[in-house]
Amino acid sequence: MHITLETDYAVRIVYCLAINRERKRMDAKTIAEQTGVTLRFSLKILRKLVACGIVRSFKGTQGGYELAKPLEEITLNDVIETVEGPYALSRCLNPEFCCPRNGDGMCKFHAIYDDISEMVREKLKAVRFSDLVK
């Protein structure tokens, strides 16, 4: 199991904005160059980050992108869930999924997978970007 490439890039983009926050705003081209993400993909990810309130965008010649929140308020979980949605170890945790192994719609592993998923979410919530830029 691994995070998607888009999620990995989203984490890189937020980290790039975090370490360059003294410059305030960065244009998408610079972000793309510093993160190794294509400009087109960077723009797609930046739109998602703006929509969820992690990043703020500005138009015009002095425009660009900057973090919308203090680093202490942005967690790894925030960025990952922006791209992936809520973390779940197994598809059986999705309420719409009907497990074919058990007549009541919940397999024997459901509670185990749910506990593990919650532990992972808590670990990701504990990682703040303020800790990463020290």
pLDDT in tens, 6-33: 999 999 999 999 999 887 899 999 999 9
pLDDT in tens, 46-76: 999 999 999 999 998 889 999 999 999 999 9
Calpha distance 103→109 (Å, rounded): 14
**CATH code for the domain defined by 3-129:** 1.10.10.10
User: Does position 2 have pLDDT exceeding 80, yes or no?
Assistant: no
pLDDT of 134: 81
Banded pLDDT at 109 (limits 50, 70, 90): confident
pLDDT for residue 42 is more than 60: yes
- Give me the residue spans of the domains in the chain: 3-129
Dig out the tokens for 54 from the structure.
Answer: 């992690």
Enumerate the β-bridge partners of residue 66: 56
d(CA 2, CA 131): 23
Kind of pairing, strands 64-67 and 55-58? antiparallel
Contacts of 46 (CB under 8 A, 6+ apart): 13, 28, 31, 55, 57, 65
Q: What's the mean pLDDT when you consider all of the chain?
A: 89
CA-based end-to-end distance of the chain: 29
